[in-house]
């Protein structure tokens, strides 16, 4: 990682990597049961940097479902702060 003058601030053999550590999921019907095709909302999303270098603010967090069981309307969020390795 370098600053705007090109000075090295941080180095690692591993890039940053975001991992969701917790979140709150609410169904559209609010009955605690998720029905097929029911819309859900994700709130209070916590992300941890499990990589080896600071994840800079402004990084784009993209969410996807590898098996396509969930479809996201807004699948990208912007990281509002720098996230050091090991921190949420």
Quickly count helices (H) and strands (E) in the chain.
0, 4
Mean pLDDT of the chain: 85
User: What six digits make up the tokens of 23?
Assistant: 């979140």
- Structural domains in the chain (count): 1
Average pLDDT over residues 79-87: 90
Measuring CA to CA, which residue among 51, 46, 52 is closest to residue 81? 46
At a CB cut-off of 8 Å and minimum separation 6, what does 9 contact? 1, 2, 3
Range of the domain at 29: 1-88
Token duo for residue 43? 């709130």
pLDDT tens by residue, 27-36: 888 888 888 8
Backbone angles phi, psi at 22, to 5 degrees: -165, 160
Paired residues of 37 in beta bridges: none
pTM: 0.70
């Amino acid at each position: 990682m370098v600053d705007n003058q090109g000075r090295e601030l941080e180095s690692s053999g591993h890039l940053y990597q975001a991992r969701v550590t917790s979140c709150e999921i609410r169904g559209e019907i609010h009955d605690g049961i998720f029905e097929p095709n029911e819309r859900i909302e994700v709130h209070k999303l916590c992300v941890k940097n499990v990589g080896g270098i600071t994840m800079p603010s402004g990084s784009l967090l993209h969410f996807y479902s590898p098996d396509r069981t969930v479809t996201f309307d807004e699948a990208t969020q912007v990281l509002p702060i720098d996230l050091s390795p090991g921190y949420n």
